[in-house]
Amino acid sequence: MESTTTGNIEGLDLRVDIRAILTPDYYAKEIAGIFRRSWLVIGHSYDIPQPGDFFTRDLPGLNAALLVVRGRDGRIRAFHNLCRHRGSPLVSESKGSQKAFACGFHGWTYDTQGALMRVTDPENFQFDRTKLGLLPVHCEEWETYIFINLAPMPPVSLREWLGELYQGFSGYFDKFATSQPYRTEARCNWNLAVNSFTENYHTLYLHRHTLPDYQGGDENPLRHLPAIELMKRHARFSTPANPHHRQRRAEAIAFRYSAPVLPTFVQDCAGLPPQVNYQRVSPWAFDVVELFPNFVFLPGNRWCVELWFWPLAYDRTMVEMTMCLEAPRNLAERVGQEMPVTLAREVMCEDMSLLEAQQTALETGALSHFHLNQEEILLAHHYRVGREMIEQMERRADGR
């Protein structure tokens, strides 16, 4: 099977100078030119459904600590999680629900929309209280996802950032609930971590025990991708299902009580929005969508895997994974869903298993370039988008 690649492929370099990328200096440019100007996914709106519901999120590699809260007006906002008095962290809990947020240092209190409500001993201050609300972070919603942008003024709106993906997912994410996140810190560069999840070339070997016959089959033994699309910033592909997959014992037990998930080889796409299995290929297993720079999701029929790759240093990355499933109707379905959740975690561990050794090997400097094939074209696109954003930052700095 030949891959069908569409989109922004002109001038794409399949030879990547990885030696120049895996350095502290280049990493600093990535933080400033990419991560501080990109729209980043930090959670789901259904995690804070009621006014006063909140969660906090620390992004240490980006030097940001955030408070995300649904205000009394129903709108979701993000703020820097610090008090305007002397910079003490305002909220220590990871999530919860409150009518107001009081600083444990001196009692300054803010409402759920960020306004300063109360100051201890206000007569001894000389300021305008209305100008000392919580420091906002740009925040917008798309479908059920919450995005933030750390730039003082985002270069583009979220709608423009998502581009071709903005329309066409309506209703898909609404029916899901997410599993508890699985987190691991890897001693590797964040680009390498993203790369390991955005090509299908490795699955025949690395996942030969966990996913032995989920894809390809006799008709497509090398698991060539039936559809690839490169967009201005983002990219995706559809993976080929194996129509002759033989259900294993664990699957048979789990799916006796719950709907088949990972794999779900149901080829009826009538209930799927147009952006899932976007070219309606058959046989189809799932899609892989990279939202540049650090979020990858795998939408399937009745399930979705989410992956975050947070940079901590040029050689350290925090990786997070959750699985989105439809809410179980009974205890049997809930127990049955543990099989695909566990399988997704094990597959993630396999993908992560080689990264630290790869980082160590690359740091020797013996290998200067990656040589990519057509099945790894998302990697080439990823590095091109990053390079272009850094070049834009440098031109602005030079006044060009």
pLDDT recorded at residue 130: 87
Residue 73, domain CATH: 2.102.10.10
Residues 175 and 317 in one domain: yes
pLDDT reading at 399 higher than 80:
no
CA distances, 357 to each of 10, 192, 360, 362 (Å):
33, 11, 5, 9
The pLDDT tens digits of the residues spanning 208-220 come to 888 888 888 888 9
> 210: closest CA among 112, 346, 372, 357?
346
pLDDT recorded at residue 57: 96
pLDDT reading at 185 higher than 90:
yes
Residues 25 and 110 in one domain: no
The token pair at 212 is: 């032995």
pLDDT recorded at residue 43: 95
pLDDT tier at 1 (50, 70, 90 boundaries)? Answer: low
Residues 184 and 312 in one domain: yes
Residue 158 lies in a domain: no
- Please count the helices (runs of H) and the strands (runs of E) in the chain: 10, 21
Cα-atom radius of gyration of the chain, to the nearest Å?
23
pLDDT reading at 385 higher than 90:
yes
Residues 230 and 273 in one domain: yes
pLDDT recorded at residue 3: 66
User: Average pLDDT over the chain, rounded to whole?
Assistant: 93
pLDDT tier at 400 (50, 70, 90 boundaries)? Answer: low
pLDDT reading at 347 higher than 70:
yes
Distance between CA 119 and CA 117 in Å, rounded? Answer: 7
pLDDT tier at 2 (50, 70, 90 boundaries)? Answer: low
The pLDDT tens digits of the residues spanning 155-171 come to 999 999 999 999 999 99
Number of domains in the chain: 2
Last residue of a domain, one of 153, 185, 217: 153
Q: Tell me whether residue 400 is exposed, middle or buried, using C-beta atoms within 10 angstroms of its C-beta: 0 to 12, 13 to 18, 19 or more.
A: exposed
pLDDT reading at 355 higher than 90:
yes
pLDDT recorded at residue 5: 83
Q: Residue 389 belongs to what H/E stretch?
A: helix 377-397
Residues 373 and 295 in one domain: yes
Residues 181 and 85 in one domain: no
**Pairing between β-strand 227-230 and β-strand 235-240 as defined by DSSP bridges:** antiparallel
The pLDDT tens digits of the residues spanning 304-316 come to 999 999 999 999 9
The pLDDT tens digits of the residues spanning 40-98 come to 999 999 999 999 999 999 999 999 999 999 999 999 999 999 999 999 999 999 999 99
Residue 96 lies in a domain: yes
Residues 184 and 103 in one domain: no
pLDDT, greater one: 289 or 333: 289
Lowest mean pLDDT among 4-13, 219-228, 334-343, 362-371: 4-13
Q: Residue 316 belongs to what H/E stretch?
A: strand 316-326
The token pair at 182 is: 């699985």
* pTM over the 0.75 mark: yes
Distance between CA 221 and CA 126 in Å, rounded? Answer: 73
pLDDT, greater one: 245 or 73: 73
Helix (H, G, I), strand (E, B) or coil at 309: strand
